[in-house]
């Protein structure tokens, strides 16, 4: 049975809306009555409060969408991708556009199939987050064809030559360097990297930064030796476990991980062998995904600037849609080391695998 829609005529409900939106009841009233003397930010806060409390927006506040924007993400298992989706969707909604979220899963709809569906629905632009553009083994023709058809696109997380589009990425090279520098400051000399498949641009960049950092800090004689401390698996919890097995067996006391999920897998593997984090093994993640600060122990990680990257991606896409040309150079955003409790001083002796 369909639940009846709740409207907001009751005066006491104005106080609930005002409290959630952080404004006065008089301001809520002005927004609900469509008055013009309210800032865009305040109006949006009241509308968000309406949505969160389950009230239907008054007819006068319903606006017609400026158009549809496709948002293609690889999957939603890794918490960083829902975070990207939320930020991008929020900024698109602020601009009056309706986002169409397309998520992939193994054996499901592919990126190319989603693109055809989006084109059939007449989208005004597409944002790709960690798409095939980040896979060096995937063809670039799909994006070239989109641009030839006049479709504005923005590519987030990875760079590929020959595509006429804006790129937005985190500086993965610097992220690895930050993590190694932190671990060296704690006295670690045997530091490993748990990375994803080498065909992905972010993996290659993290590996380059990691290898360079090991050599710079005197932990490896040259790049060839430094690369022996890298284990390539999958960007998953299980991938982190597999990498930890190998790194523990080879006497490492610290692991830099290519994702927070991998870091959780490393922690699980360390504990399964009767060791503890960080007493026996220090672990650094990457992304600073939502809720990662509440793991046991709270995870030290390198924060990917998701909010700034999402905002920049939408701004570039809207520029393209308007007929102007956004910069074609890759926008690189600086990561930030967030120190919590999964890293500590190097143990006197390396844990025995």
pTM over 0.75: yes
Average pLDDT, the chain: 92
Using alpha carbons only, give the angle 330, 202, 298 rounded to the nearest 5 degrees: 115
| Structural domains of the chain in order of their starting residue, each with its CATH number | 14-61 (1.10.260.40), 67-170+306-334 (3.40.50.2300), 172-304 (3.40.50.2300)
Phi, psi of 155 (to 5 degrees): -115, 120
pLDDT in tens, 225-237: 999 999 999 999 9
59 band by pLDDT with thresholds 50, 70 and 90: low
Q: How far apart are CA 252 and CA 228, in angstroms?
A: 12
pLDDT at 8 over 50: no
pLDDT in tens, 23-56: 998 898 888 887 778 887 888 788 888 888 888 7
pLDDT at 11 over 70: no
Give CA separation, 269 vs 55, 283, 316, 339, in Å: 47, 11, 42, 21
Q: How far apart are CA 125 and CA 95, in angstroms?
A: 13
Look at strands 125-129 and 97-103 and give their pairing: unpaired
Q: At what angle do helices 237-249 and 260-272 cross, to 10 degrees?
A: 50
Question: Percentage of the chain with pLDDT > 90?
Answer: 76
Buried b (16+ CB within 10 A) or exposed e, 88-109: bbbbbbeeebebbbbbbeeeee
Question: Percentage of the chain with pLDDT > 70?
Answer: 94
pLDDT reported for residue 2:
45
188 and 253 in contact (C-beta within 8 Å)?
yes
pLDDT in tens, 332-353: 999 999 999 999 999 987 776 6
pLDDT reported for residue 61:
66
63 band by pLDDT with thresholds 50, 70 and 90: low
pLDDT reported for residue 233:
97
Q: What is the DSSP string of 128-195?
A: EES-GGGBTTS-SHHHHHHHHTT--EEEES---TT--S-EEEE-HHHHHHHHHHHHHHTT---EEEEE
pLDDT in tens, 162-220: 999 999 999 999 999 999 999 999 999 999 999 999 999 999 999 999 999 999 999 99
pLDDT reported for residue 46:
85
């Amino acid at each position: 049975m369909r639940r009846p829609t709740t409207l907001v005529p009751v005066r006491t409900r104005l106080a609930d809306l005002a409290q959630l939106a952080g404004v006065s009841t008089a301001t809520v009233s002005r927004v609900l009555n469509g008055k013009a003397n309210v800032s865009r930010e305040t109006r949006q806060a009241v509308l968000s409060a309406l949505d969160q409390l389950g009230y239907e927006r008054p007819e006068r506040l319903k606006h017609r969408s400026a158009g549809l924007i496709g948002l293609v993400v690889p999957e939603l298992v890794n918490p960083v991708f829902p975070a990207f989706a939320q930020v991008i969707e929020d900024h698109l909604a602020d601009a009056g556009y309706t986002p169409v979220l397309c998520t992939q899963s193994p054996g499901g709809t592919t990126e190319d199939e989603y693109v055809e569906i989006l084109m059939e629905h007449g989208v005004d632009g597409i944002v790709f987050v960690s798409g095939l553009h980040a896979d060096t083994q995937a063809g670039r023709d799909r994006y070239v064809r989109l641009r030839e058809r006049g479709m504005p696109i923005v590519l987030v997380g990875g760079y590929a030559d020959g595509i006429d589009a804006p790129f937005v990425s985190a500086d993965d090279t610097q992220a690895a360097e930050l993590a190694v520098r932190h671990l060296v400051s704690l006295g670690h000399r045997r530091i490993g990297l748990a990375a994803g498949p080498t065909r992905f641009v972010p993996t290659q960049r993290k590996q380059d930064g990691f290898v360079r950092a090991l050599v710079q800090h005197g932990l490896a004689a040259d790049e060839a030796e430094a690369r022996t401390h890298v284990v390539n698996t999958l960007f998953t919890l299980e991938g982190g476990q597999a990498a930890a097995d190998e790194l523990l067996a080879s006497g490492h006391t610290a692991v830099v991980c290519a994702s927070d999920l991998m870091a959780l897998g490393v922690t699980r593997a360390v504990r399964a062998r009767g060791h503890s984090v960080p007493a026996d093994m220090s672990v650094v993640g990457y992304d600073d995904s939502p809720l990662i600060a509440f793991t046991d122990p709270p995870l030290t990680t390198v924060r990917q600037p998701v909010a700034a990257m999402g905002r920049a991606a939408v701004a570039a896409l809207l520029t393209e849609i308007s007929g102007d040309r956004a910069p074609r150079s890759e926008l690189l955003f600086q990561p930030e080391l967030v120190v919590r409790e999964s890293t500590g001083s190097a143990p006197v002796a390396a844990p025995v695998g």
